[in-house]
């Protein structure tokens, strides 16, 4: 193969055809960061595994991911269970889901594992592109896959407590109860019905859904 490549290169040179000033078209090439003849730098960053040439963006090659990632490397770690490089502040502080990075982003439906956009890990363990997460918060607060709260809502829940206390229901609804399912703790509760929201008796979250019909107490009936 090498002899054939040399012959092709010689024929190309005789015919006046050259790939560039440093090599003949058809010759056997070796990927490397600089030109052996003139030391021209082909890329500020070069990965000998991926054969990737790029500007310097503090890239590094992750052997577990199998691709190059934008760093700097010391700001990231590879989670073996999630199978993805995550920011170092999430080490030991996130919920792992087996190979979760192999799923597409539930917002834009694009790949997460090979994306240049940083992945955001929700408290439930599901992944979204950071940009998709920021857009999602403009419309809602729940994971689009499991409906778990996507951020700490404690402060808002306490504000909602005050609003519920200041907004009494009409007399015909004051003794009405309803069965609810909490999206945050997955617990079931029977609580008083309120139009502003129904709080989970277990974790005090208002991220709940009605799971049964309304019931009126015997005294009111």
In a domain, 134, yes or no: no
Domain for residue 50, yes or no?
no
CB within 8 Å of 61: residues ≥ 6 apart: 47, 49, 50, 67, 68, 69
CB of 170 closer than 8 Å to CB of 183: no
Q: What is the pLDDT of residue 22?
A: 55
pLDDT, tens digit, 9 for 90 and up, residues 157-197: 999 999 999 999 998 888 899 999 999 999 999 999 999 99
Q: Which neighbouring-strand residues pair with 111?
A: 104
Lowest-confidence region among 14-18, 103-107, 143-147, 204-208: 14-18
Higher pLDDT, 18 or 86: 86
pLDDT of residue 186: 94
Percent of the chain residues past pLDDT 90, beyond the cut: 50
Instruction: Return the pLDDT at 127.
Output: 94
Residue 196's domain comprises 169-216
Q: Kindly tell me if the per-residue pLDDT of 135 is higher than 80.
A: yes
Mean pLDDT to the nearest integer, 114-125: 90
190 inside domain = yes
Is pTM, for the whole model, over 0.75?
A: no
CATH code: domain of residue 175: 2.20.28.10
- Asked, for residue 192, whether it belongs to a domain, the answer is yes
DSSP state of 131: H
125 pLDDT exceeds 50? yes
Evaluate whether residue 125 is within a structural domain. no
Q: What does the pLDDT look like over 57-80, one tens digit per residue? A: 888 999 999 889 888 999 999 999
Task: Report the C-alpha gap between 3 and 82 in whole angstroms.
Answer: 47
The half-sphere exposure of 75 on its side-chain side, counting CA atoms within 13 A, is 8
CA separation (Å) from 44 to 48, 49, 63?
13, 16, 21
Whose structure tokens read 């809502």? Answer: 153
If you average pLDDT over every residue of the chain, what do you get?
A: 84
Give residue 70's pLDDT.
Answer: 87
**Residue 173: inside a domain, yes or no?**
yes
Q: Is residue 152 part of a domain?
A: no
Number of domains, the chain: 1
3 state DSSP class of 106 = coil
Q: What angle do CA 63, 69, 74 make, to 5 degrees?
A: 85
> Stretch 39-62: mean pLDDT, rounded?
83
Q: Is 163 among the domain residues?
A: no
pLDDT at 151: 93
At 15 the pLDDT is: 53
């Amino acid at each position: 193969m090498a002899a054939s490549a040399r012959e092709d290169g010689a024929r190309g040179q005789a015919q006046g055809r050259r790939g560039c000033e440093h090599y003949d078209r058809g010759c056997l090439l070796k990927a490397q960061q600089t030109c052996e003849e003139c030391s021209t730098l082909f890329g500020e960053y070069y990965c000998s595994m991926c054969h990737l040439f790029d500007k310097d963006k503090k890239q590094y090659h992750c052997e577990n991911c199998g691709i190059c990632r934008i760093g700097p490397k010391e700001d990231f770690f590879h989670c073996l269970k999630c199978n993805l490089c995550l920011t170092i502040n999430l080490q030991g502080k996130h919920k792992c889901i087996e190979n979760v990075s192999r799923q597409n982003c539930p917002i834009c439906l694009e790949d997460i594992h090979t994306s240049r956009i940083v992945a955001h890990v929700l408290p439930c363990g599901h992944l979204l592109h950071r940009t998709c997460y920021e857009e999602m918060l403009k419309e809602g607060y729940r994971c689009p896959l499991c409906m778990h709260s996507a951020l700490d809502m404690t402060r808002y829940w306490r504000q909602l407590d005050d609003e519920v206390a200041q907004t009494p229901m009409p007399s015909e609804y004051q003794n009405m109860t309803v069965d609810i399912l909490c999206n945050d703790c997955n617990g079931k509760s029977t609580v008083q019905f309120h139009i502003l929201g129904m709080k989970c008796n277990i974790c005090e979250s208002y991220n709940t859904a009605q799971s049964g019909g309304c019931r009126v107490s015997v005294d009111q009936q």
